[in-house]
Amino acid sequence: MPLRRSPSRRIATAGRALALIAALGWTAGCGSGAALRAPAPSSAVPSVNAAAPTGTGSSATAPGDHEVSFVVNGTTTYGTLHIPQGPTDAKLPAALLLPGSGPTDRNGNQPPQLMPDTLADLARLMGDDGIMTLRYDKYSTGQTGLGAYADHPGAVDLDAFVQQAAAGYRFLAAQPGADPQKLLIAGHSEGALIALEVDRDAAPAPAPAGLALLEPQDMRLLDLVTLQVDQQVDAAVSAGQLDSARAAALRTAVTNGVSEIRSGRPADTAGLPGSIAAVFQSLNGNLAFARTDDAVDPADLAAKVPPATKVMVTCGTADTQVPCSSTGPLADALKSAGTGGPGLVTLPGVDHLLQPAGSPPGTDTLAPAARQAVHAFDQLWH
């Protein structure tokens, strides 16, 4: 009998296709871990109104972390606005930080299993470089929970996350200390895809001056799932853990599952190995999300980025979830669009979480190469 899942868990697993738990027990993705439960928003959290930003209990221009909220499509979204030290009347570069796939919260964590603090570390690093940042709990995470989707979680598709991010961007742009000529978006993994979507339609806020696409989702979702499984099957064959006939059968099963989802049907998981079945059960759990994400080719979006935009794309050589070998079309599309640099930046020995390869669980420090790349991007705005 299948396990019953709460609505928040169904959304989290549907968004976990990039956090793939693939064949033979290997782990890949933006991070794994249990879904967060969706607590009711706390009335004790100060709120900042998106139309006319004001702080509750502290100045909206004072340095430090401010607990804020904004409303999108009937959902109050909770986040952290970080204002760096400096003159309170100064106009600052301001960056929206977007997390990767799955139940990843404003800090880049999936409590309690995965706690890399990816976005919290980025906020600190960018703050030290004089950049204001906003990060928030997306649908099904942290204080935000499912919000208006609590009674119909299956309706959460990619566009819901894009609209949430766009509202966050407009909220950031409305901050009194934000320089409207230096608005930025930094997206990690799936967050990079959403950054490209927001860049396409940021109005009425000014278009982003810069995009930092960190270990970005660089191909259609189901193509990336296929790539991840193929790589892991290849590794198993090379290690003598899988014979060629069984490998071919697994690849066929994945191809069939992808075709079924793209046609609008749940993938048939009968007879699949448990780990492969889990991948497609996660996708089946929210076909609306899977199909709308898969319908978008990041390279197509990249080709539409305005030429005045300065873009950085990172590629960690130890990233097995979005390998450097797949990043070319995205980088080429940005180059063809005429965008400015830094362009593609290779990070030696850096994994998908922007940490040193082989980092033990619980590591919450960005790799030096990742820090250097972000610092160089930050310096473009001073």
Does residue 168 surpass a pLDDT of 50?
yes
Average pLDDT score over residue span 169-180: 97
Q: Please tell me the distance from the alpha carbon of residue 284 to that of residue 266, in angstroms, as a whole number.
A: 5
Residue 147 lies in a domain: yes
pLDDT, one tens digit per residue, over 75-116 is 999 999 999 998 878 899 999 999 999 899 999 999 998 999
323 shares its domain with 288: no
Give the end of a domain, one of 253, 271, 294: 294
The label of the residue with tokens 């806020």 reads: 205
Does residue 57 surpass a pLDDT of 50?
no
* pLDDT (0 to 100) of residue 86: 86
Domain that holds residue 31: 7-37+220-294
Average confidence score pLDDT of the chain: 86
Q: Please tell me the distance from the alpha carbon of residue 147 to that of residue 287, in angstroms, as a whole number.
A: 20
Give the end of a domain, one of 294, 316, 341: 294
* pLDDT (0 to 100) of residue 61: 80
Does residue 330 surpass a pLDDT of 50?
yes
Identify the CA nearest to 207 among candidates 174, 176, 181. 181
The label of the residue with tokens 């191809």 reads: 255
Residue 55 lies in a domain: no
* pLDDT (0 to 100) of residue 274: 82
Residue 114 lies in a domain: yes
154 shares its domain with 271: no
**138-158 as b/e: b if 16+ CB within 10 A:** bbbbbbbbbbbbeeebeebbb
- The better pLDDT of the pair 163, 273 is held by 163
Decide if 185 contacts 199 (C-beta within 8 A).
yes
Which of these ranges, 7-21, 123-137, 162-176, 271-285, has the smallest mean pLDDT? 7-21
348 shares its domain with 224: no
215 shares its domain with 281: no
User: Within 10 Å of residue 38's Cβ, how many Cβ atoms?
Assistant: 26
CA 116 centroid distance within chain: 14
* Longest CA–CA separation in the chain, Å: 67
Q: Is the dihedral of CA 6, 12, 15, 21 positive or negative?
A: negative
Does residue 307 surpass a pLDDT of 90?
yes
Decide if 195 contacts 211 (C-beta within 8 A).
yes
84 shares its domain with 190: yes
Task: With residue 134 as reference, give the H or E element that holds it.
Answer: strand 132-136
Single pTM value for the model: 0.86
Does residue 260 surpass a pLDDT of 60?
yes
120 shares its domain with 268: no
Decide if 313 contacts 299 (C-beta within 8 A).
no
